[in-house]
Structure formats: structure tokens, C-alpha cells
Amino acid sequence: MEKIRKRGISASVEASIQEKAQKALTSTEKKRKIAQNAEIKQAEVELPVGLEELLKSTLERNSKIAAAANNIDRASAERMNAILGYLPQVNAVYTYERLDEKVISSDNAVYQLGRANYPVETADFSIEQPLYDLSRIYAIEYAMTTRKKSEVDYLAAIAEASYKVYNNYLVAIQSKSRMKSLQKRQRFIDRQVSGQSVLDTNGMGDEGALASLRGNKADLNAEESLEAATYHEALTDLARLSGLVVSDIKPIKFPSGFIGLEDGVDIEQGIAEAMHHNPRMLSSALQVTASEQRYKQAVMRDYMPVVSSYLTMEDEKRTASRFGGGSHTRDATLGFKVTIPIFNATGAGYVNATMAIDAENAAIDYHALVRELETQLRATYRRMRELSKALRSLREVVAQNLKAYRNERSKLKNGETVDLAVATRELSLNKAVERQNYYQVEYLKTWGQLQYLLGKNLMDQGLKQ
């Protein structure tokens, strides 16, 4: 292990890994289509992308959604295999042998040749039909439930991916907006620094105030860098989720009349509907059913008898025999078989013991998800109400700061004040607008979370640019 750690992977091994992987990635037509779909044309990513475009690309290119879609095909195949398990098993076998037999001693006169060497051709045809096998019946029910669950998991994958795209898009919008605001505030501080410098030239400056302004600008510069990091991290997440190379995003306009949407939501009714419509909840419920069916299947396999019928036909040709002559025989056998498990019939113990635990775990997960979903819905609903209150207050804050700014500008035109005072008012207005924009996007994020928790499709409710 030490040698491997120090040596690492050699260039030849890396090349071999890549070569084999590329062959495997293009070994079938479907894999080639997957690779083709993963290719990104430069024209697709030169311009800023909007939320609708990202959501559409997510539906087409997101790897988890694609995997969930493939799982539907797999579940369909498993369902068909379970059904085939109760249909007749038909086999045909052809055998060619050459027998060399030497009689060493015998008191039977027919072994007069002493030695025989001859070919034997055998053709077998058999049909076996299960007549009574409860474990196979439960296997069919389990496979059908799993097929339904795969469809729900596909919808859950779409819901989760679209919500993550929606949320990361708004995070990027928030960071981009705040970066612009911080840049604007730095320009305001530059104006204030310039004003202080003029006062300092006239002997009226305040060295402490000037140092404080420069410190504030450095602090704003650091905040801008942090916001830039958050912005690019959000773009990276959007690229991973949507399958596009995202370098910039389009702005959004806060929908008019959007505040207070939670007033039209009956949270108790919403919780009840979420238990029936949320894909995660449905998937968990189907998992409970599937685990119970799996447990019953194991019980039937461990304890219940199996009844089957069979038909075998054998055609055998021997050109010679130990008796000195050849033969051609044809046998047909029709029978019924009853298999009763007595003790450790499969040689693997009793599977139902572990299946019972899996069924109990599925029930535990279901009730935990019910509590989690209800708690999240109530918390999200309360958060929307509080954000609505904050936004109504911030509207008044922005209005008052705008009034003060306009009043200060009027004074400047009349020569009653200086540009430094106007810059201070403008800085206060900028801070108020920044807070308002931030909470508006927070409200949109919380609204999106509420829709996701309620089981509604954000693909159909994307914001318009």
C-alpha cells in the first residue's frame, strides 16, 4: 500500500483506463446518444442564460433525471421477469457422447463381447409449470410496485433537480445584485473621500473620518470578493445540474403583487395535500408497500409448499451397447411435484427475518418523512409570512430614503448643502434598496421551496425574465 501511495497511477495505466472507458462509453447506440447529448456547443453558452432555458436543459441533460428514467426501463424489465417466473419453463438439450466400456468380470452371459465402444445421441425436451407458488405471486406484486415507485422516483428527480436549479439561480441573482450594490457603495465612498480631501485641503478635514472611509471601502471590497465566490459557486452548481456551461445569467424582475401569496394558502390543507402529492412522500409510501411484499415473498419461500407439473421427452440413439446390439428409445414422462420446505430448504437460512427488519425500517423512514415534511412546510410558511412583513417595512424604508435623497439634491441645487451630504443620502438609499432586493429574492426562494414541498412542479412555474 505504501508503494502504491508513493508511486500513484502510472501514465500507461491511466492511458489504458481512459482507452477502455471510451470504448465502453460508445459500445452501444444508446451510450453513443448519451455521449452526444452531453456535448456542449459553444454557441449555447456564449450569452447569459435564463431560468427557463436552465430548467429545460435540466430536464434534458441532468444525470440524475436520466438515471431515474433508465430505472423505469429496468423496473419494467424486472416486472416482466417476475411474470415470466410463473410461466412454463421450456428447455431442449441435445447431447452427443462416445462411450468406451470394458467388462472386467461378470457372471452375466450377455456381456460376451468383453468391450464396447459406441456413440450415444440423446435429445431431451422438458416443460415445467408452477401450479402453486405464493412466493412467485408476491414477486410479481413486488415488481409491479417497484415499477410504480420508479415512475414516482423519476418525478421526484425532476422536482428535486428543478428546485435546486431554481434556488441556485436565485442565489446567483442575489450575489450578482449585491456585487453591483457593493461596487456602487464603493463609488459613493470615493465621492465622500474626495469631499473629505477637499475639506482637508482647506484645513477643515478630519483625518479620522478619512481613515474610516478608506477602511469601509476596503471592507466593502472584501465583501464583494466573497459575493463573487458565492456567485461563481452558484454558477458551477447550475452547470452541474443543467448540463450547460454557465458563465452568466439573465436578471429577473420581481413579479408585481407577489408579496402575500401565503395569505391564500391554507397550511393545514397544504400539509394534507403534500402527503398525497409530494413525490418523496409517495415514493416512501410505495417503499413501505414494496418492503411488505418482499417480506411476504420471503415467508412464502421459507415455509410454504410449491406445486408444479412437468413433462419430459427423451429420444436416445445407441449404435451399440454392452449387450452387443444398438437401440433407439423414446420416453415421455408427465408428473406432478410437491416441494415442502422442512428445514433450511434453500441452504441460506430464513430470509424472512431480514426482510421483516427491512419492512420495519421502511415504516420508520415513512413516519420520519411525514414529520420532516410537516415541519418544513410549517417553517417555510411562517418564513414567507415574516418575509412579507419585512418587505412591506422595507418599502417604507426605501420610500423615506428616496424622499430624503431627493430633498438633499434639491438643497444642493439651491446651494444649501454640499455634494458630500448628497453622497451620504444616496449611500443610505442604496443600502435600503439592496436590503429590499435581497429580501425579495429570499421571498422568491422561500416560495419555490414551498411549491417543492407541496409537490408542485417548478418546471411549470418558472419566473419569466
pLDDT digits (tens, 9 = 90+) for 367-426: 999 999 999 999 999 999 999 999 999 999 999 999 998 998 888 888 777 777 787 788
pTM (two decimals): 0.82
Asked whether residue 181 is assigned to any structural domain, the reply reads yes
**pLDDT value, residue 170:** 94
Taken in order 84, 293, 354, 71, is the CA torsion positive or negative? positive
Predicted local distance difference test score (pLDDT) of residue 359: 93
- Does 209 share its domain with 164? yes
430 and 383 together in one domain: yes
Structural domains in the chain (count) = 2
The predicted pLDDT at position 106 comes to: 64
230: domain range? 43-86+134-302+351-460
99 & 202 share domain: no
Query: What is the predicted pLDDT for the residue at 29?
Result: 73
Among 80-89, 315-324, 337-346, where is mean pLDDT lowest? 315-324
**Are the beta carbons of 429 and 185 closer than 8 angstroms?**
no
- Choose the weakest-confidence range: 18-22, 176-180, 307-311: 18-22
In a domain, 32, yes or no: no
The answer on 394 and 255 residing in a single domain is yes
Q: Is the pLDDT of residue 116 over 90?
A: no
> Sign (positive/negative) of CA torsion 164, 167, 169, 172?
negative
Choose between 291 and 26: higher pLDDT: 291
Q: Do 250 and 195 belong together in one domain?
A: yes
| Residue 189: per-residue pLDDT | 77
Read off the pLDDT of each residue in 219-246 and give the average, rounded to a whole number.
Answer: 90
Residue 402 counted as domain residue = yes
> Would the pLDDT of 204 be above 70?
no
pLDDT of residue 41: 45
The answer to whether residues 193 and 95 belong to one domain is no
- The whole-number pLDDT of residue 14 equals 63
Point out the domain boundary residue: 288, 318, 339: 339
Quote the percentage of the chain above a pLDDT of 70.
Answer: 83
Q: What would the pLDDT profile of 429-448 be if each residue is shown by its tens digit?
A: 888 888 998 999 999 999 99
* More confident: 224 or 288: 288
Long-range contacts of 274-279 (CB under 8 A, 24+ apart): 274/373, 274/377, 274/453, 274/454, 274/455, 275/370, 275/373, 277/454, 277/455, 277/456, 278/373, 278/453, 278/454, 278/455, 279/152, 279/153, 279/155, 279/156, 279/159, 279/455
Strand order in the sheet with 115-132: 89-102, 115-132, 306-318, 327-339
Q: pLDDT value at position 43?
A: 38
Main-chain dihedrals φ then ψ at residue 195, nearest 5 degrees: -65, -40
CATH number at residue 452: 1.20.1600.10
- Residues 81 and 97 both lie in one domain: no
Q: Is residue 36 part of a domain?
A: no
Residue 195 pLDDT level (bands cut at 50, 70, 90):
low
Does residue 324 sit within a domain? yes
Claim to verify: residue 141 and residue 167 sit in the same structural domain: yes
Higher pLDDT, 101 or 168: 168
Beta carbons of 171 and 238 less than 8 angstroms apart: no
**pLDDT above 90: residue 253:** no
| pLDDT level of residue 105 (50, 70, 90 thresholds) | low
pLDDT over threshold 70, residue 339:
yes
Is residue 52 predicted with pLDDT exceeding 70? yes
User: 29 in a domain, yes or no?
Assistant: no
Q: Indicate whether 162 pLDDT > 80.
A: yes
- 388 and 428 both lie in a single domain: yes
Residue 272 lies in a domain: yes
Residue 201: pLDDT above 50? yes
pLDDT for residue 215:
82
Mean pLDDT of 107-117: 61
Can you say how many angstroms the Cα of residue 337 is from the centroid of all Cα atoms in its chain? 47
pLDDT at 80: 94
**3-state SS record for 266-291:** CHHHHHHHHHHHCHHHHHHHHHHHHH
Residues 93 and 227 in one domain: no
Is residue 78 a part of any domain in this protein? Answer: yes
Burial class of 29 by CB neighbour count within 10 A (0 to 12, 13 to 18, 19+): exposed
Average pLDDT value over all residues in the chain: 84
